[in-house]
Amino acid sequence: MAIAALLEPYQRFGVNLGLSRIHELLEKLDNPQRKVPYVHVGGTNGKGSVCAYLSAVLTEAGYTVGRYTSPHLIDWNERVCLNDQPLDSGIFETALQQVIDLAPPQQEDSPTLFEVFTAAVWLCFAELPVDIAVMEVGLGGRLDATNVKEPCLLSIITSLSREHWQVLGPTVADIAKEKAGILKPDRPVFLGNIPPAAKPVFQGRIEELKCPDQWIAPASKLDQIDVNGYGLAEFRQLKYPLALLGEFQLQNSALAIAALQELQHQGWSKITPEVIQSGMAKARWPGRLQWVTYQDQKILLDGAHNPAAAEALATFVNSLRSPANPSVTWVMGMLSTKEHDQIFQHLLHSGDRLLLVPVPDHSSADLGTLATLAQQICPDLGTIQTYNDCFEALQTLSKTNSETLTVLCGSLYLVGHFLEKTIALS
């Protein structure tokens, strides 16, 4: 049975943060997580990129590496990778069925879908076995199903901004408390772009747990490119290629390298400067500033599902605007729970074209409401139109206008829908 079908009965339990169910489930499985040394990556934006860098370098070093990230773009097994490749579905389904047998979905206090899936991940990684796992927090941190005590090698907090506030709390300080919940006693923590209102929360937790802490500044961008055409960056006298796009990768890559250097100090001796350089060039993270070609037109894909991510996308897109082609065509869909006004404020410019589309199979924001809001925020938009599907919107774009930049964004689920359909068509 496919992974999606096995998980479907657990959909009804929704999001229910807490550690008691996952700990009980792992106990029934004989605590497989205790056999898996891991790096824990939390934060708001940048988690996936940092996981991609870590996994690529550790794989390059010759270790057997498990990687767990979310959400997936197309298939569930994208979330669970072995040496940077999606784990064989059959292997994962066997582990998942073992977990389900111990926690059938009819129980009154059943584990959630994410908890069942996470338990199967730990089981897989323990049984393969992997040398090291790179684990991304699902939601928050303190009460997230990935948050187990041992044997955590180090924690990373990539960035922090106001997201999932309906669950994590209304202020940045509230959210910081939840993110800081992944810190472990006496274990190193690496922190990136943390706003002033959140720093005291992390500092208090660091002092309480006696965590060696490093607050990492972005790497320096070099005016050079390597033989593969990648831009070069420098961090702690180490020059390396940036295979992932966007200025924010200077921060994400620096965090990853600092963490890798710490692992080397901890005894992971295969992590050399040369391995870091070659591994960084092999990092891939689809759906984030990804160029694709659809019907002879070049399109930029990006999730940009919260204000901070939209600001990062805007920085990249604005660098591509030119006097000859100053406007951008935005094909956008957003979930109903997102901060639509702030996302629009970051992205929209006078003369831009906005094509609004639904996010399939999710709680999509009302397109008419979005259109009204966009008009209020940017009255000088070239046009605002709504469509039943992103492909219907893309069909309207004139091939003779190929010089105009087209960006599909607003939700990773929307990006995943686009990629799934285009792969099926190819």
Q: What does the pLDDT look like over 300-328, one tens digit per residue?
A: 999 998 898 999 999 999 999 988 888 99
- Going by C-alpha positions, the residue among 209, 176, 205 that lies closest to residue 192 is 176
pLDDT number for residue 313: 95
As to burial, measured by CB atoms within 10 angstroms (0-12 exposed, 13-18 middle, 19+ buried), residue 269 is exposed
- DSSP codes, 163-179: -SHHHH-SSHHHHHHHH
Taking the model in full, what pTM does it have? 0.93
Q: How far apart are CA 188 and CA 143, in angstroms?
A: 20
What H or E segment, with its residue span, contains residue 354? strand 353-356
What's the Cα-to-Cα distance from 405 to each of 331, 357, 371, rounded to whole Å? 11, 18, 20
Token pair recorded at residue 228:
């593969």
> Does 3-280 carry CATH code 3.40.1190.10?
yes
pLDDT number for residue 400: 47
Sheet of 231-235, strand order: 220-225, 231-235, 238-242
Other beta carbons within 10 Å of 387: 18
pLDDT number for residue 244: 96
- How far is C-alpha 161 from the geometric centre of its chain's CA atoms? 14
Q: How far apart are CA 177 and CA 143, in angstroms?
A: 11
Q: What does the pLDDT look like over 264-290, one tens digit per residue?
A: 999 999 999 999 999 999 999 999 999
- Going by C-alpha positions, the residue among 55, 54, 46 that lies closest to residue 303 is 46
Sheet of 80-82, strand order: 85-86, 80-82, 65-68, 132-136, 38-42, 152-159, 189-193, 213-215
> Which sign, positive or negative, has the C-alpha torsion 384, 386, 390, 395?
negative
pLDDT number for residue 401: 58
pLDDT number for residue 305: 86
CATH number of this structure's domain 288-425:
3.90.190.20
CATH 3.90.190.20 segments of the chain: 288-425
Token pair recorded at residue 101:
């047998």
Q: How far apart are CA 234 and CA 222, in angstroms?
A: 7
Q: What does the pLDDT look like over 59-72, one tens digit per residue?
A: 999 999 999 999 99
CATH 3.40.1190.10 segments of the chain: 3-280
- Going by C-alpha positions, the residue among 231, 343, 248, 345 that lies closest to residue 289 is 248
pLDDT number for residue 16: 87
What H or E segment, with its residue span, contains residue 209? helix 199-209
- Going by C-alpha positions, the residue among 308, 307, 314, 311 that lies closest to residue 328 is 314
Q: How far apart are CA 395 and CA 380, in angstroms?
A: 24
Partnered with residue 330 across adjacent β-strands are: 354, 407
pLDDT number for residue 229: 87
What H or E segment, with its residue span, contains residue 298? strand 297-302
Residues of the chain with pLDDT under 50: 400, 426
The length of the chain is: 426
Q: How far apart are CA 397 and CA 140, in angstroms?
A: 39
Q: How far apart are CA 424 and CA 426, in angstroms?
A: 6
